[in-house]
Amino acid sequence: MNMLKQGLTASLAVLAVTAGPVLAQAWPVKPVRIIVPFGAGGGTDIQGRLLGQKFQQSMGQNFLVENRAGASGLIGAEFVARAPADGYNILFTTASLAVNVELFAKRLKFNPLTDLEPVSWVSSVPLVLVVHPSVPAKTLKDFVALAKRPNANLIGAHNGSGTTSHLSIEMLKLFGGARVTPVPYKGGGPAMVAQISGESDFSFGTALAAQPFIKSGKARALAVTTAKRSSAFPELPTMNSMFPGFEADNWYAMFFPKGTSKDIVARLNSEILKALKASDVNEFIRREGGEPVGSTPEELAAYFKREADKYAKVIKAANVTAD
């Protein structure tokens, strides 16, 4: 009897050791959903579909994008957080998730930091500080000096309360002592229209939205918000070159529900890194003004926590509330 128990114990131990790799090799055995928590046609949606095509080609299974928009991306994020941890629901989201940890703290029904399993950082798109041509500032230094004047009161258009474009303006006030007034618009398009029409003096626009107007001379670019200079705007300095710690990129990343097998996480991570090297994916991200990144799950987890902590400090200091 004892020998039988010992044999069973040994067999179970072997199964425990081998089950993970076998599970990862078998996954996926049915279609996988990529949940994009924003509407169709945007940068998140298009990147998600491109990546899904690459995963399908590589793994021979359908990866279907499903748009679950609403509540600044929280509806889709909560759906994935509550989904079974079996590898068949992936969240593809943006930096807004890090902002929402604090911005919607009293309303959240899940914890983005503990209820999601980080897989990989995918890409990073800078915001660009642009001014209307009538603003007498040719450089970032000029603009900061202008904005700090006692009677300055420059108007800054942004995409809505709590967005990275809004929090960038608040960081300009906190880091640089700028005397500016943030004014919300219903999205990046209307904010950029206000910017180029002269209704506002400046904005932190997404690279893709700002590029055409910079090229046409309807807006003057002064700096980018990413930690390093952008390949799309190599001539522009970074905000943190003047204000260390001033970083506010629009990043994109993938997550599973918490508790998903580490082997499945590792498999998807390797597929993401492979997809980012594909010319069509790489070229699309760069056309958007971004940089393909890629990371380990651990690197994304650490970065996500730093981002959430950073934005929490800005939100509290500036007393930002959700619309």
Mean pLDDT of the chain: 91
62: helix, coil or strand? coil
Mean pLDDT of 282-294: 91
Give the separation between CA 60 and CA 171, rounded to whole angstroms: 46
Give the separation between CA 222 and CA 305, rounded to whole angstroms: 29
Question: What are the pLDDT digits (tens) for 166-176?
Answer: 999 999 999 98
Higher pLDDT, 64 or 208: 64
Give every CB contact of residue 45 below 8 A, 6+ residues apart in sequence.
36, 38, 39, 65, 67
- State the pLDDT confidence band at 159, using cuts at 50, 70 and 90: confident
Question: What are the pLDDT digits (tens) for 89-124?
Answer: 999 999 999 999 999 999 999 999 999 999 999 999
Domains of the chain (ranges; CATH) run 29-124+250-318 (3.40.190.150), 127-241 (3.40.190.10)
Predicted TM-score (pTM) of the model is 0.86
Mean pLDDT of 50-62: 97
Give the separation between CA 296 and CA 223, rounded to whole angstroms: 29
- Report the pLDDT value the prediction gives residue 1, as an integer from 0 to 100: 47
